[in-house]
Each structure stands twice: as C-alpha cells, then as structure tokens.
Amino acid sequence: ATILGIESSCDDTSAAVCIDGEIRSNIIATQAIHQKFGGVVPELASRAHQQHIIPVVEEALDRAKINKNEIDAVAFTRGPGLLGSLLVGTSFAKAFALALNVPLIDVNHMQAHILAHFIDDPKPDFPFLCLTVSGGHTQIVLVKNYFDMEIVGQTNDDAAGEAFDKTAKILNLPYPGGPLIDKYAQLGNPHAYSFPEPQIPGFDFSFSGLKTSILYFIRNNEKENSNFVENNLNDICASVQYRIVSILLNKLQKAADQFGIKNVAIAGGVSANSGLRQMLTDLAERKGWNVFIPQFQYCTDNAGMIAIAGYHKFLNGDFVGQDTAPLARMPF
C-alpha cells in the first residue's frame, strides 16, 4: 500500500510517502520566521503552513517517484498541536483524500513520534518503554502494541525541550536553542557546575525548578563578572545538558526496573541530543538493555512518522470520515 503522510502540528510543514512500510520520501519545510520572535507565533505558523503545504506534497511525490493516483490512503496529524496549524494539514488531507476517493487516516502526533521506530531496522519488540522528549511533551510510555500505549510518567510543568529552549533564552541564544546547547555542550565540561535534581515521586518529571535555578545562577555570576556567560558558555551548556539528561535517564531507569523491561527507546526532538544519545547508550550497556535511537531526520517533527503510523492503521482498516476535526489536545 502507498500512504501519503501529512504533518503540520507546530512549525514544520512536512509530507512523506510510505510504500509497503518503507519511507520513500520525507520532505520538511521549517519556518524560519519564528526565530525573530524567540518562539513559535501560532498565527504566523498557520499562514506559513498554507504557503508550504502544496509544494512540500509535490516534492514528496516527486522524490518517491509516484503519481498522485497511486496513493492508497492519506494519513494526517490530527493532534495534539496548535489548532490553526493542525487545521491546514487536516483540511488539505481531507480534500486530497476526497478528490482521490481514498480512505483518510488520523494519526496522534505523540504516538507517531514513537512509531518512528518502525521505519528502520532494528525495530523494537513489544512491549518496550519509550522516553518521548519533545518541545511540548516529556513522557515515559509503555508501548504494548502499535496503538496500545500507556503513559506511565510525564512532566508536571515544562517539557524537556522547553527546558533546553528556555535555558538557551536565558543565555541569549536564538530559538530554538536546544540544538545550540547541544553544540556548545560538546566543547564543555558537564561537571563544571552542579544544578539540582528535583525530587518528584514515581516516574513523573519537573523542569521548572531547574529553569529558575539556572536563571539565578546566571544572574548571580553576571553580577560579579559581566562576561560570565560569554566566557563560560561551553561549560554552562554542558552542565545544564548533563542535568536535564540525568533527570530523564534516572526516571527511565526506574521505570524499566519496575516494569522489568529491557527494550528501551527514545523519541521526539530532544532524542536528537548527543548527550542523551551517548548517556543512554552507556546506561544501556550497564543495564543490558536493547536500546533504540531514531535517525536524526525522524527525531524532530516529520511526516515520515505520520506515514508509517498511517501504514499500520491502514493494515488494520482503521479509517476516519470527512467529519473528522483536529484536536489541540488529543489523548492516546
């Protein structure tokens, strides 16, 4: 089966073609416009999706070397995300499916981040635990089957991606700061400064206290030395990154122990982080885990993950009607 996947939940417009479970193209148009505002502006995001969606879909079909008449179903991100952004992809997908007279498949964006693990080999066996860390979510998910997933832990406040982006803002780095913190961290000492680890029960997370302690740490040091950030950027980034990653991995380890699970995955934009990838690989070796880390292009938002999720729903005959509306909040 040939599935067209459409993603438009936040600030990336993306289209992908999946043929019999294999991703043949994955085109992503990112929106540079948000940089000068230091964060995503929803109204601008919707307008940019509107401009990008047709050329992105055309390029995805071209790269996959298929004609639109070969598409067997259209899969789209129904939620969660920004409503105006979701509306562009949803409306496009509905119109395209109607015109081609093919079924329509709705996909949950957070499930799709996890299902990105079924694009490449090796694919995880069920059940596995997935730490999903992105711009809006931080979850530990027990994945029992493709669409049978249970959130066993999540953040009480900021997401891990927000912890990176807000720290970057404090350090005067441009948005989105996560990848920049990663870059500078690779040149710094992760133990140069020590930031506190919050004591949160169970498998839940909190990152807002860390953000505040970073803010005060920078302010106090800048009082004595106005070039503090400039002179110590690599060490600050390495130390912050070390703390965020160790908070994530300590909870993941606790959950894996409690559930007795040795198949462990990471997903979402923050799973592109080199510190997380390295520390997880080391931890997995100590614990004897089988660890699954996505290719970079499938970590941040992409339609490849929507197309693969759509493919597995297609196999189940799980379709939706033309009356389907996007959902800003969408539980599993």
165 binds, among Fe ion, ligand ATP, none (CB under 5 to 8 A by kind): ligand ATP
**Which C-beta is closer to ligand ATP: that of 2 or that of 134?**
134
The residues facing 28 across adjacent strands are 14
Annotated binding-site residue? 271: no
**Total number of residues binding ligand ATP (CB under 6 A)?**
23
Q: Provide the token pair at 159.
A: 């997401």
Give residues 16-55 in contact with ligand ATP (rule: CB under 6 A). none
Strand 22-30 versus strand 12-19 pairing type: antiparallel
Q: Which residue has the tokens 């073609």?
A: 17
- State yes or no: residue 109 binds ligand ATP (CB under 6 A): yes
Give dist(CA 105, CA 59) in Å, integer. 21
Q: What's the min distance (Å) between Cβ of 113 and Fe ion?
A: 6
Shortest separation between residue 195's beta carbon and ligand ATP, angstroms: 16
Tally Cβ neighbours within 10 Å of residue 104: 20
Cα distance between residue 166 and residue 240, in whole Å: 11
Residue 325: count other Cβ atoms within 10 Å of its Cβ.
13
Within positions 186 to 245, which residues make up the interface with Fe ion, using CB under 5 A? none
Is residue 77 close enough to count as binding Fe ion by CB under 5 A? Answer: no
As given in the structure block, the two tokens for residue 147 are: 């669409």
Structure tokens at 241: 């990154």
When asked if residue 164 is in the footprint of ligand ATP (CB under 6 A), the reply is yes
Contact between 72 and 102 under an 8 Å Cβ cutoff? The reply is yes
Q: Give, as ranges, the residues between 285 and 304 that touch Fe ion (CB under 5 A).
A: 301
Query: How is 201-246 classified by DSSP, letter by letter?
Result: STT-B--HHHHHHHHHHHHHHHHH-TTHHHHHHHHHHHHHHHHHHH
Confirm whether residue 132 is marked as ligand binding. Answer: yes
Least distance from C-beta 30 to Fe ion, angstroms?
13
Q: Does 10 bind ligand ATP (CB under 6 A)?
A: yes
Closest CB to ligand ATP among residues 124, 178: 178
Q: How does DSSP classify residue 320?
A: B
Helix 208-224 / helix 228-259 crossing angle, nearest 10 deg? 160
Kindly state the helix (H) or strand (E) to which residue 264 belongs, with its residue range.
strand 263-267
* Measured distance CA(95)–CA(218) in Å, rounded: 51
For ligand ATP, which is the closer residue by CB, 2 or 155? 155
* Contact between 326 and ligand ATP per CB under 6 A: no
* Residues 269-288 interacting with ligand ATP (rule: CB under 6 A): 269-270, 272-273
Residues of span 180-219 touching ligand ATP by CB under 6 A: 182
Question: Considering CB distances under 5 to 8 angstroms, the limit depending on partner class, which of ligand ATP, Fe ion, none binds residue 305?
Answer: none
Determine if 89 is a binding residue for ligand ATP (CB under 6 A): no
Q: What six digits make up the tokens of 72?
A: 């067997």
Nearest to ligand ATP of 39, 127 (CB atom): 39
Instruction: Give whichever of 7 and 235 is closer to Fe ion, judged by the CB atom.
Output: 7
Establish if 304 lies at the interface with ligand ATP (CB under 6 A): no
Cis amide prior to 80 (ω within 30 degrees): yes
List residues near ligand ATP by CB under 6 A: 9-10, 81, 109, 113, 134-137, 161, 164-165, 176, 178-179, 182, 268-270, 272-273, 300-301
Q: Which residues are annotated as a binding site for Fe cation?
A: 109, 113, 301
